[in-house]
Structure 1
Amino acid sequence: MKNDLIVKDNILVNASYNLEVTEQRLILLSIIRARETGQGITSDSKLEIHASDYATRFNVTREAAYSALKNAVHNLFERKFSFKDNHADTDKEIVVKSRWVSRIAYVDDLAILEVTFAPDVVPLITRLEKHFTSYQLKQVAQLTSKYAIRLYELLISWKSTGRTPIIDIADFRSKLGLEINEYQKMINFKNRVLEPAIQQINELTDIVVKYEQFKSGRSISGFQFSFKHKEELVQVHNNDNNNIFYSTSKLTDAQRHMFAHKLSELPEMGKYSHGTESYQQFAVRIAEMLQDPEQLKEFYPYLKKVGYMASTKKDIING
């Protein structure tokens, strides 16, 4: 996957759509194939996706790859998305609705999917002289949550700052492809969509992300995300002996949850509580925060207080 670069116009990155994991993967492979032509594509271009490529790039069985390509003939053809653009004559913002593909066919004997992008999609993967987002396919290849793939793309479009603006909750849900009646309660949205997506991103991609929530009255009105690349070294100071510990890793899941439970009961941690949450809810949120190297650094004095012992090796932090 050395040259498997995904490049999308930011209009497409910020579009609203609901694609299953296999469908998102096929769109990404089609974008790669379009780039590999070296001559650009048109709305008549046929792009070939091989089952063997799908199996190799996403580490699935040949049978799973065959199934993904076969099912795409109907499912992907029916998928639609919407995006905001400027009207050519008036320059006013308009909402455009489009299919992803105008033609799709599966060649059974060859295990090949032929894809032709819809006219509105072509410029969004070829018109890249202004605002675009790029990343390596390998960063999302292991993600199995469709929301994790979408969230990663939305985040990486802000890689120059490492922080998104505050995203309105309705707009965020739309970008993730959620229907109005899906996961309406915030606790369900967090437990089934947001937090599993963040967990996968933190474990399987090149970034570590955390989020803040903003309220309008008593209701959550939006989220802001910040993230760092894992190769950035984090310094954690040991105040007792002035040693500096460096880490590019993180606590194991078992360590995170064990220490999060202990931290939730510390009076000093009260400033991080949302006030209305139980100790158990607070512990779950602390466990999430401990996935972020910056939070690990910030919580280090409290971790020591509840029994965390840092390694004396300069490049490792453990418990």
Structure 2
Amino acid sequence: MRDLVVKDNALINASYNLDLVEQRLILLAIVEARESGKGINANDPLQVHAESYINQFNVARQTAYQALKDACKDLFARQFSYQEINKRGNIENVLSRWVSEIRYIDAEATVKLIFAPAIVPLITRLEEQFTKYELQQISNLTSAYAVRLYELLIAWRSTGQTPFIELTEFRQKIGVLDDEYTRMGNFKDRVLNLAIAQVNEHTDIIVKCEQHKRGRTISGFSFTFKQKKSVTKATKSAEINIEDLAKKMTVAQRHLFAKELAELPEMGKYSQGTESYSQFAVRIAEMLQDPQKLKELVPHLIKVGFKAK
């Protein structure tokens, strides 16, 4: 099973500053919750082994556990902010910690953490807007800014472009402190251009940035991006009798493959953006009955294990 990370877009758009190891720790904890079936709550700790960190991010074995341990301690002191609409229709500004409790076991090279109550629904709620991606996509990113940029971008995967983001807001979202890289040249070299270069090289998308000005001053940025062409060796659609396949695929097969397809990042262009995984999967199952749509989806079907006979 692919390691999928799911975050509510309220969290993706939250303004916070985490370093690379802290971000990786949170992502591994989310994956651990999904794979173990424990889920995420405000009472039970999730554990992350140093071995998982080593295997996922290809880091040195002798430093992996200490890095996780330090990240766990630092994360305990971190805060994040976001906004939500209350029942009266007013904006509530929320400030919360990331975790309410941490533990580390030296003899097992393992850390444990419990997410704070405020963050639990933001990570687990799938009924509203969500962003999902394979953990592998950010495994080779060595800049925390690149991880944040990738997360911000794929929240707009269905359109392939972001709206204009004002400079101050963008700095907050990508995790740059007010007193860091105050000169635009330094900000571009050390943050923006570095993040774009890493996203383009190591993830599944290619991104371009457009800067916007008020007079001679840069006021913010917008981004456009597209999916990289798949390098997976797959059977060509032309070699498959689409009409025959549409008739022979059973209801159970359609729903089985639809569930797998719903979790592919490249299927984001078919998503309506406000549906859960299960709702998206139901709609994909309906698409598989349409020969024209089925023809489009054959390469993705092959990626999730479909084999043409």
- Scaled by the length of structure 1, the TM-score of the pair is 0.70
Corresponding pairs, count: 231
User: Quick one: which of 138, 143, 155 aligns to 1:157?
Assistant: 155
Alignment pair present for 1:70 and 2:69: yes
Q: Deviations over 1:197-228 (max 9, x none)?
A: 10111111111111111111211111010111
Q: Work out the CA distance in 2 between the residues paired with 1:73 and 1:160.
A: 34
* Residue 289 (structure 2) aligns with: none
Q: Work out the CA distance in 2 between the residues paired with 1:167 and 1:59.
A: 33
| Equivalent pair of 1:47/1:115 in contact (CA under 8 Å) | yes
Structure 2: gaps spanning 5 or more residues: 232-309
Most deviating of 65-74 and 102-111: 65-74
Q: By how many angstroms is 1:171 displaced?
A: 0.6
* Residue 203 (structure 1) aligns with: 201
Q: Indicate the SS of the match to 1:17.
A: coil
User: Quick one: which of 118, 121, 140 aligns to 2:119?
Assistant: 121
| Equivalent pair of 1:69/1:106 in contact (CA under 8 Å) | no
Q: How does 1:166-315 map to 2 (within 5 A)?
A: 166-231=164-229
* Residue 81 (structure 2) aligns with: 82
* Residue 314 (structure 1) aligns with: none
Letter in 1 for 2:128: K
Letter in 2 for 1:163: Q
Q: Work out the CA distance in 2 between the residues paired with 1:62 and 1:38.
A: 27
Question: Which structure features the higher share of helix residues?
Answer: 2
| Equivalent pair of 1:202/1:209 in contact (CA under 8 Å) | yes
Q: Indicate the SS of the match to 2:107.
A: helix
Q: Deviations over 1:85-130 (max 9, x none)?
A: 122x323112211111000111000111111000011001111111
Q: Indicate the SS of the match to 2:160.
A: coil
Q: Work out the CA distance in 2 between the residues paired with 1:95 and 1:34.
A: 28
Q: Work out the CA distance in 1 between the residues paired with 2:12 and 2:144.
A: 14
| Equivalent pair of 1:98/1:118 in contact (CA under 8 Å) | yes
Higher RCO structure (Cα 8 Å, ≥6 apart): 2
Report sequence identity in percent.
55
Q: By how many angstroms is 1:232 displaced?
A: 6.8
Q: By how many angstroms is 1:38 displaced?
A: 2.7
Q: Indicate the SS of the match to 1:43.
A: coil
Q: Work out the CA distance in 1 between the residues paired with 2:202 and 2:50.
A: 23
Q: Indicate the SS of the match to 1:105.
A: strand
Letter in 2 for 1:96: V
* Residue 273 (structure 2) aligns with: none
* Residue 25 (structure 1) aligns with: 24
* Residue 35 (structure 1) aligns with: 34
After superposing on structure 2, the runs of 4+ consecutive aligned residues of structure 1 that deviate more than 3 Å are none
Q: What root-mean-square deviation, in Å, do the aligned CA atoms of Structure 1 and Structure 2 show?
A: 1.4
Q: Indicate the SS of the match to 1:161.
A: coil
Letter in 1 for 2:166: D
Q: By how many angstroms is 1:72 displaced?
A: 2.3
| Equivalent pair of 1:55/1:64 in contact (CA under 8 Å) | no
User: Quick one: which of 124, 131, 134 aligns to 1:133?
Assistant: 131
Q: Work out the CA distance in 2 between the residues paired with 1:201 and 1:25.
A: 16
Letter in 2 for 1:47: L
* Residue 254 (structure 2) aligns with: none
Q: Work out the CA distance in 2 between the residues paired with 1:118 and 1:138.
A: 26
Q: Work out the CA distance in 2 between the residues paired with 1:75 and 1:138.
A: 24
